[in-house]
Structure 1
Amino acid sequence: MLYLEDIKVGDHFKSREYEMTLEEIKQFGQMYDPQVFHTDEVKAKDHPVFEGIAASGWHTGAVTMRLWTECFPVAYGLIGSESSLRWPRPTRPGDKIHVDVEVVAITPSKTKNDRAIVTYVTQAKNQYDDVLLISTTKIIVFKREFNPSVS
């Protein structure tokens, strides 16, 4: 587990790969983002932007979250306070996603000296290093001295 003392601006973390299957893309689309370009290969071919089936951006985000938790193991979890994200290109069946994380800022709490806000930029990339998702995220990270029973 990583505590605030273990993290510095400029740190990089890289995840393992995760393959997006057609079945998983369609299943996620049917459950959470039921648009034809996520659920139907035939109809998706005629879509003017996607020109074929593509994973929901939220699906790509969910996979990114999974990979974050594995490669950036922050003590007490990735407790988000803010995030912005973009999807510069679609995630396709067969894409092998990995995430590259870079810590870009650490802002100590003004009211609690046992924590800080850590800002990091993530790029989720496929096997060709095409960027599928870019996010800037702020999380709360605790020092080793943090005592949850006192807070």
Structure 2
Amino acid sequence: MMYFEDYHVGLVMNSPAYTVTQQELVEFASKWDPQPFHIDEAAGKAAFGGLITCSAHTFSIFSALGSRLDIGSNGAIIAGLGFNRMQMIKPIYVDDRVRLRAEVTKLRRSQSNPAQGIMTTINHLYNQKDELVFSVETATLIGVKETVPA
């Protein structure tokens, strides 16, 4: 498990790739954002050249891949604190294979609780063509190792 002290500014973490299926895309959008270009092939093709994920689905993929970063058990994460500068840069289509790259940009100890630290990361989703499709800055509350009882 990685604690606050195990991270450093500039650390880059990568996830495995994830393929978006048509069934998943349509089911998610049908429930959470039933716009025609998300659930109807003809409407998707007319508007975007094919069915695309809705923004909530894109964010959900980002969240799921965040738990699969190549840092072992994903660290002593306590909670997400915020999401800033979120951008849907390019559509994610059926059969796109996306991966997450997260880079630590800031670390600071919590002023109110010395057993916790705050890690800021910039996160990018790339498709199989290495095109940037999504970006978001996150702040995460994480446990401090030196305060864990032995």
- Structure 2: distance between partners of 1:126 and 1:19: 9
- Structure 2: distance between partners of 1:29 and 1:66: 17
Structure 2 unaligned regions, length at least 5? none
> What does residue 61 of structure 2 align with?
63
- Structure 2: distance between partners of 1:146 and 1:74: 15
Q: Match of 2:52, as an amino acid?
A: A
- Structure 2: distance between partners of 1:70 and 1:9: 20
4+ long deviations beyond 6 Å: none
Render the CA deviation track for 1:67-109: whole Å, top value 9, x for unaligned.
11111502145x1111021100000011101000000001221
Structure 1 unaligned regions, length at least 5? none
Q: Match of 2:50, as an amino acid?
A: G
1:125–1:133 Cα contact (<8 Å) kept: yes
Greater mean alpha carbon deviation, residues 67-76 or residues 34-43 = 67-76
Give the number of aligned pairs. Answer: 145
- Structure 2: distance between partners of 1:141 and 1:118: 7
- Structure 2: distance between partners of 1:19 and 1:76: 26
> What does residue 134 of structure 2 align with?
133
> What does residue 110 of structure 1 align with?
111
Q: Match of 1:35, as an amino acid?
A: Q
Q: 2:52 aligns with which of 43, 51, 54?
A: 54
1:57–1:90 Cα contact (<8 Å) kept: no
RMSD of the TM alignment (CA)?
1.5
1:67 alignment partner, SS class: helix
- Does residue 3 in structure 1 map to residue 3 in structure 2? yes
> What does residue 44 of structure 2 align with?
44
The alpha-carbon deviation at position 137 of structure 1 amounts to: 0.2
- Structure 1: distance between partners of 2:49 and 2:128: 20
> What does residue 81 of structure 2 align with?
81
1:66 alignment partner, SS class: helix
Q: Match of 1:136, as an amino acid?
A: E
- Structure 2: distance between partners of 1:63 and 1:45: 22
TM-score computed with the length of structure 1 as normaliser:
0.90
Render the CA deviation track for 1:24-52: whole Å, top value 9, x for unaligned.
111111011111111001122222xx343
- Structure 2: distance between partners of 1:146 and 1:51: 53
